[in-house]
Amino acid sequence: MTVHGTIRDGSETLVLQGYLDNMALVERLHRLLLDVIKDEFERLGVEEINPVQALLLFNIAEHEVTAGELKSRGYYQGSNVSYNLKKLVDLGYLHHQRSEVDRRSVRVKLTAKGREMRGRIEDLFRRHAGLLAVRSGVSAAGLEDANQVLRRIERFWGEQIRYIY
């Protein structure tokens, strides 16, 4: 088989196809997750925040964080996270406070309104986790196997960014 003009043997072709399928699936899953949250918001009548902002609230949880910390955890991109955090502060979902050490840095944490919204997202995820095994035959062990593979890919991609060889 030819890949970008290079002849590849069968095993390399299988790895390449699996890799390309995996990347496409990860992209589709992320978009579907956002759609699932959007549908839940429509059912609940939530209109003032979007699914990306809801995931921010979910990932902040009980922590006090900066935009940089959220970016370094790999959750969000630069200007996207800053814009969404500002919007969530303006809407009353987050408290913000300038860092005493670095005045340029702002730390955020959930308000009562933010914790309530996070609870709604957690309820959605709990409901889905409970139904996943019943409707899809996906076990806890199967999820852990998938997570291990995805973590390996995450480490590999991180290494590619840090080390060029």
In a 3-state reduction of DSSP, which class is residue 76?
coil
**What's the rounded Cα separation, in Å, for the pair 57 and 88?**
9
pTM above 0.85, yes or no: no
Residues of the chain with pLDDT under 50: 1-2, 5, 7
60: nearest Cα among 73, 44, 77? 73
59: nearest Cα among 105, 106, 125? 125
The pLDDT, as a whole number, for residue 103 is: 67
The pLDDT, as a whole number, for residue 93 is: 98
**What's the rounded Cα separation, in Å, for the pair 128 and 6?**
44
Q: Residue holding tokens 């670095």?
A: 102
Structural domains of the chain ordered from first start: 49-160 (1.10.10.10)
50: nearest Cα among 69, 63, 27, 33? 33
**What's the rounded Cα separation, in Å, for the pair 53 and 83?**
10
Quick one: tokens of 129?
A: 């986790």
Is residue 98 within 8 Å of residue 114, measured between CB atoms? no
Neighbours of 143 (CB within 10 A): 13
The pLDDT, as a whole number, for residue 1 is: 45
